[in-house]
Structure 1
Amino acid sequence: MADLGLAGRRVLVTGGTSGIGLAVADTFADEGAHVGIIGRSPERLRAAVEDLRKKHPDSIIVGETCDISSEPDVQSTTNKLVSQLGGLDHLVSSAGISGSLGHAVDQVPAEEFLEVQRINVLGPFLAIKTALRHLREGEDATYTLIGSDSGFVAVPGMLAYNASKGAIVQLTRALSTELYNDGIRVNSVCPSIVDTPMARDGLGIDSFHDVGYPVSQPSDVAWLVLSLASPRFGAVNGVSLLADYGYHARSTFPA
């Protein structure tokens, strides 16, 4: 088996109670890492921590609820979890919302547009701002953001989400440049549709069975996150890794 070099590492995952974030936490723990998760729901947090501890009895698993758009909340939560983990080597920002879908620009309330940016853009900014001093002391430190193919391509009715994920692409570039001298690599994983509760709710479907297009599982995305975080991938920095089965390369021009 390939050794990703992540055993014993200390990892913090926002949005770690469900979907991609939970899969990331689970997969890191599979590699022998110690994991802290942050989520909004106390009920989901308790369930996630309990499940992860049962599956990974040799790993430290801790969790806290937090409003990721509040700097004081993120600061105190990060410090508490990092203290429990004994340090921090890897940070993953997975928390995100889609906002309501299918609305034209003149039907999107300004506050809803801003709420999507608060969670999807301000949240990752606050995560790295508050964790930075800990990562500077970490080993082969990395910050990996969960973006989307929606940061590269667009369809009508997803304006707020498209804008937020486009910001993640540039935030990845900017942070990789700014933190280069700190030895902290910054990358993002940008999947197309992933079978998560958020995706099902946003599309208004109960199942992706027979939808006619490829759909990733959260574990698929988790492996990409671990690969980018691994010291084996030390040359990879500032990359927004598209994971969309090549759909971005296909022209839709009507000719």
Structure 2
Amino acid sequence: MSNCWEQHRVLIAGGTNGFGLVLAKLLCRYGASVMVLGRSAEGVRDALIQCEAAAHEAGYSKNQVQGITADLSHDGEGNRVVAQCLEKFGGCDSFFFCVGQSSRAVILKLAPQEI
């Protein structure tokens, strides 16, 4: 059976802790190229170390893991993140949005600063 995640380019917002980090490490183990996005440079650095180790342990290159520090609630940050993903991976096949906190609202109706 083939691995559907190999050659897959993934961007994970909120990939520095919690579910986002678990997902990032898992996808690295399956051979995906993963870009981890977080608001803290230290958090991104720590997540990269863990993701690189997960990729290496599974026999994949740790070069498939990239990180970027950004706050998507700020104007223009989304464009910068997409440009970085295009530069490093040549595109993005999947985007996971693992940020924010639980609230009783439809995410599509929230302003960026409320997420």
Interval of TM-score (by shorter of Structure 1 and Structure 2)? 0.7 to 0.9
Output the aligned Cα RMSD.
1.7
* Aligned pairs for 1:97-136 within 5 A: 97-98=101-102
* Aligned pairs for 1:1-255 within 5 A: 3=2, 5-57=4-56, 58-59=60-61, 60-98=64-102, 161-163=103-105, 167-168=106-107, 171=108
Identity of aligned residues (%): 31
TM-score normalized by the length of structure 2: 0.80
Residues 20-48 of structure 1: CA distance to partner in whole angstroms, max 9, x if unpaired? 00111111112111000100111111011
Point out the structure with max Rg over C-alpha. 1
Task: Please state how far the C-alpha of 1:96 moved relative to its aligned partner.
Answer: 1.0
Task: Please state how far the C-alpha of 1:95 moved relative to its aligned partner.
Answer: 1.1
Task: Please state how far the C-alpha of 1:4 moved relative to its aligned partner.
Answer: 5.2
Residues 216-255 of structure 1: CA distance to partner in whole angstroms, max 9, x if unpaired? xxxxxxxxxxxxxxxxxxxxxxxxxxxxxxxxxxxxxxxx
- Paired position in structure 1 for 2:112: none
C-alpha distance in 2 between matches for 1:97 and 1:42: 20
- The 8 Å contact of residues 85 and 92 in structure 2, kept in 1 or not, is answered as no
Name the SS of the counterpart of 1:38 in structure 2: strand
C-alpha distance in 2 between matches for 1:86 and 1:56: 20
**Structure 1 residue runs of 4+, over 2 Å off?**
none
C-alpha distance in 2 between matches for 1:95 and 1:23: 13
- The 8 Å contact of residues 64 and 81 in structure 1, kept in 2 or not, is answered as no
- The 8 Å contact of residues 25 and 50 in structure 2, kept in 1 or not, is answered as no
- Paired position in structure 1 for 2:111: none
- The 8 Å contact of residues 36 and 67 in structure 2, kept in 1 or not, is answered as yes
Q: Which residues of structure 2 form unaligned runs of 5+? A: 109-115
Q: Which residues of structure 1 form unaligned runs of 5+? A: 99-160, 172-255
C-alpha distance in 1 between matches for 2:44 and 2:15: 8
Residues 170-190 of structure 1: CA distance to partner in whole angstroms, max 9, x if unpaired? x4xxxxxxxxxxxxxxxxxxx
